[in-house]
Amino acid sequence: MAYSTILFDADGTLFDYDRAEEFALASSFRKYGIQFSQERNSLYREINDGKWKQFEAGVISKDELQTSRFAGLFAALGIANIDAARFNKDYLGYLACGSELIDGAVEVCRSLSATMRLAIITNGIATVQLSRFSKSEIKDYISYMFVSEEIGYAKPDARYFDFVFDRMGPLGKPGVLVVGDSLTSDIQGGVNYGLDTCYYNPRKLENLSGIKPTFEIGSLAEIFDWI
Ligand SMILES: [Mg+2]
């Protein structure tokens, strides 16, 4: 398939969110005098993932997501007297500094951008995502950046994709490929909208979701085997 446009998810697809997140959590823990450990990092991830799923399902707002993930973490750790909203603000400040990329991201974006238009479609928080993007090595290869918070809808909502198509248009759906590491937001969003999808699955997780990507890759460079 000849694609004219590629819509890349940001976190876990182009950006190494795991590293950025761990740095941000360890730094904020240090600031508040809380002991950091890998167990606590994993616990936070689990809680945060659950909150993002609730957000993507429209159950909670972005503000609720941001405070309740830390309120939940502190409750689970038996830590009292920390204002979760204030802690979240500090955390986001550290997170905005993390612009490490996934292996191959620079080369893949550089190469694809020679013949295609590239955009980032992300459900992240606008100030954080824009800061990380502007510090990153891929910024010159990406023509558009769409952050759900600014649009008012999040992947997989079709209205999110309506906004993207409206801005980048005129776009024919057959020429557009969605690349992402989340079956429930990226791949489901693309499938629902009638787009081809590429599931970036570096840990080779078994797909039990029933959501079927057009193709799957284990490293970003493998995209060249398909397009
Ligand atoms: Mg992702």
Q: Report the distance separating Cα 132 and Cα 155, nearest Å.
A: 20
Distance 80 CA to ligand 1 centre (A): 31
User: What is the residue extent of each domain of the chain?
Assistant: 5-16+100-225, 17-95
pTM for this entry: 0.83
Q: Does the annotation count 9 as an active-site position?
A: yes
Q: Which residues surround ligand 1, an ion (CB under 5 A)?
A: 9, 11-12, 181-182
Q: Report the distance separating Cα 130 and Cα 99, nearest Å.
A: 10
Topology annotation, domain 5-16+100-225 = Rossmann fold (3.40.50)
| Identical fold, 5-16+100-225 and 17-95 | no
Q: With contact defined as beta carbons under 8 Å apart, do 104 and 219 qualify?
A: yes
17-95 sits in which CATH class? mainly alpha
Q: Report the distance separating Cα 117 and Cα 142, nearest Å.
A: 7
Distance 157 CA to ligand 1 centre (A): 15
Per-position pLDDT tens, the chain of length 227: 689 999 999 999 999 988 899 999 999 999 999 999 999 999 999 999 999 899 888 899 989 999 999 999 999 999 999 999 999 999 999 998 888 899 999 999 999 999 999 999 998 889 989 999 999 999 999 999 999 989 999 999 999 999 999 999 889 999 999 999 999 999 999 999 999 999 999 999 999 999 999 999 999 999 999 99
